[in-house]
Structure 1
Amino acid sequence: MRVASLGSGSRGNATLIEWPGGSLLIDCGFSVKETCARLERLGKSGSDLTAIIVTHEHADHIKGVAALARRFGLPVYMTPGTFHSRDLGKLPELHLIEAYQSFCLGELTVEPVAVPHDAREPAQFIFSCGGVRLGILTDLGTVSPHVEDMYQNCDALVLEANHDPMMLASGPYPPSLKTRVGGPWGHLSNQQAAGFLARVDCTRLQYLVIAHISQKNNSLERAREALSPVTADISEVIYACQDEGFDWLSLAPGPVLAEASA
């Protein structure tokens, strides 16, 4: 399995996963034209996709989903709450994720995870294939015990570190938006992300990608400063950006799984 990003931030998000049986786009917060250009940068096109999975209905995640699905005849997976919160028009093929039940796309197992975010029925996801476990965890205001339990023992993790609390407090957002972003149903701060990493088992973690970094309420320097005490033993730490996301990361089964299957 391998993973890349088309872009990560408040102006658009999309993550690309590829496994031997297909490729999957998680969210599409860009126009079709922009999505196709960003896919081309990664050596892919819309016709290569197997499906689109949607985390929630906020525009930076769902903006281009329906148009891209119609352009390339792609099935779309999302929770009923996400679907009913937006008028997406006619989709080529809709699959509703009921009660956060796991499902499979060929050899890829998809585990939806309920998260605290100010959307109707938001989900984040864990993907497993060939002994590799990849976690995507952005757009949540609190790390619940359920979230913490689900994201143990990943081989790769894309994790939100959205804002620095001091920058958010003194930044340009109106008070209501500051309250929303920094609240329990908003986004994780650098410190919350660091606390989460300190509590989960990162023994198998080959890659940690820090994502959804606010361009107005955070900086790479502040994110690194907050996270460095808990990332020293992780093989590779990558900071995703809005314009370029991050390039392909190839994952291999960790030693724990290799020993278990021997």
Structure 2
Amino acid sequence: MRYCSLGSGSKGNGTLIEQGDTRLLVDCGFSLRSTEQRLRQAGVSGEQLSAILVTHEHSDHIQGVAKLAKRYQLPVYLTPGTGYALRGEGLDLRWIDLHSRMVIDELEVTPVAVPHDAREPCQFIFDNGQQRLGVLTDTGTITPWIVNQYAGLDALFLEANYDPHMLASGPYPGFLKARVGGDLGHLSNQQAAGLLGMIDLQQLQHIAVAHISEKNNRPELARDALHGVLAEWAGKLLLAEQNQGLPWQTISGLSHHHCAQSGSR
């Protein structure tokens, strides 16, 4: 399994997950033209996509979904709450039930309910039977359910959106600061580090730091906050950027965790 980011941040998001011939695009927050250009840079054409999965209806995640889905006849997986935003578009909408996993071609997908100021937001964990990749952005609070679901991953695409001091003294108006920093907003660098402190990092090969705010954070602040909990960790810390995204990252080999548990899967 491998993954890449087409871009991550408040100006647009898109994450590709690939297993064999299965290519899932999580969110599409760019114009159609920009999306196609970003896909080309990743070596993928719209015809090669299997489906689009949508986490929630904010424009930096959903802006290009309808046009891309129409052009390439793609099914769109999303919760009924998120689906309000795309009703009447004539799309092949497939409802996500937050209480059950689904299989899309070669990948098993687990939706995870998260606290965010949207109608029925979720994030996703992808499993090919050997490796698990978690995507977790646009989340205001680390809940016990999130800790439970995101334990035992091989790779994690994790939001570290803001530095609390930069947010407090930054240019945003008061209501927006309260929204970003609130329980239904985004994860701070410290909250992201907090999650990593609560899960077993042993089999995590990479952590990609994502959705970094251009106004309320800096990559080095995010890295510094995470390094504290990653002192003993031997994996790779990566950065998904707004414009360049993140190039393809391959999750390698069979991890010990799955050998031990293969009988119970």
The normalised TM-score by structure 2 is 0.95
Q: Structure 2 regions of 5+ residues with no counterpart?
A: none
**Alpha-carbon deviation of 1:61?**
0.2
- In the other structure, the counterpart of 2:203 is 204
CA displacement, residues 95-126 of structure 1 (integer Å, 9 cap, x when unaligned): 01124421001231000000000000000000
Q: Confirm or deny: 8 A CA contact 1:4 1:16 kept in the other structure.
A: yes
Query: Percent of counterpart pairs with the same letter?
Result: 54
Q: Confirm or deny: 8 A CA contact 2:98 2:113 kept in the other structure.
A: no
CA distance in 2, matches of 1:218, 1:242: 13
What amino acid maps onto 1:70 in structure 2? Answer: K
Q: Confirm or deny: 8 A CA contact 2:152 2:257 kept in the other structure.
A: no
**Alpha-carbon deviation of 1:20?**
1.3
Q: Confirm or deny: 8 A CA contact 1:191 1:227 kept in the other structure.
A: yes
- In the other structure, the counterpart of 1:179 is 178
After TM superposition, the structure 1 = structure 2 runs for residues 37-116 of structure 1, keeping only pairs within 5 Å, are 37-87=37-87, 89-91=89-91, 93-116=92-115
- In the other structure, the counterpart of 2:26 is 26
- In the other structure, the counterpart of 1:144 is 143
Instruction: Give 3-state SS (helix, strand or coil) of 1:230's partner.
Output: coil
CA distance in 1, matches of 2:141, 2:212: 16
**Alpha-carbon deviation of 1:23?**
0.5
1:107–1:246 CA distance, 2 compared to 1 (3 A)? same
CA distance in 1, matches of 2:54, 2:248: 21
**Alpha-carbon deviation of 1:175?**
0.2
CA distance in 2, matches of 1:136, 1:99: 15
Q: Does residue 253 of structure 2 align to residue 247 of structure 1?
A: no
The CA RMSD over aligned residues, in Å, is 1.3
**Alpha-carbon deviation of 1:85?**
3.7
CA distance in 2, matches of 1:200, 1:112: 18
Q: Does residue 39 of structure 2 align to residue 8 of structure 1?
A: no
- In the other structure, the counterpart of 2:152 is 153
Q: Confirm or deny: 8 A CA contact 2:46 2:72 kept in the other structure.
A: yes
Instruction: Give 3-state SS (helix, strand or coil) of 1:149's partner.
Output: helix
1:257–1:75 CA distance, 2 compared to 1 (3 A)? same
Q: Confirm or deny: 8 A CA contact 2:98 2:112 kept in the other structure.
A: no
CA distance in 1, matches of 2:234, 2:12: 27
CA displacement, residues 199-224 of structure 1 (integer Å, 9 cap, x when unaligned): 11111100100000000000012111
CA distance in 2, matches of 1:72, 1:6: 18
Instruction: Give 3-state SS (helix, strand or coil) of 2:38's partner.
Output: helix
Q: Structure 1 regions of 5+ residues with no counterpart?
A: none
- In the other structure, the counterpart of 2:167 is 168
**Alpha-carbon deviation of 1:239?**
1.1
CA distance in 2, matches of 1:100, 1:112: 8
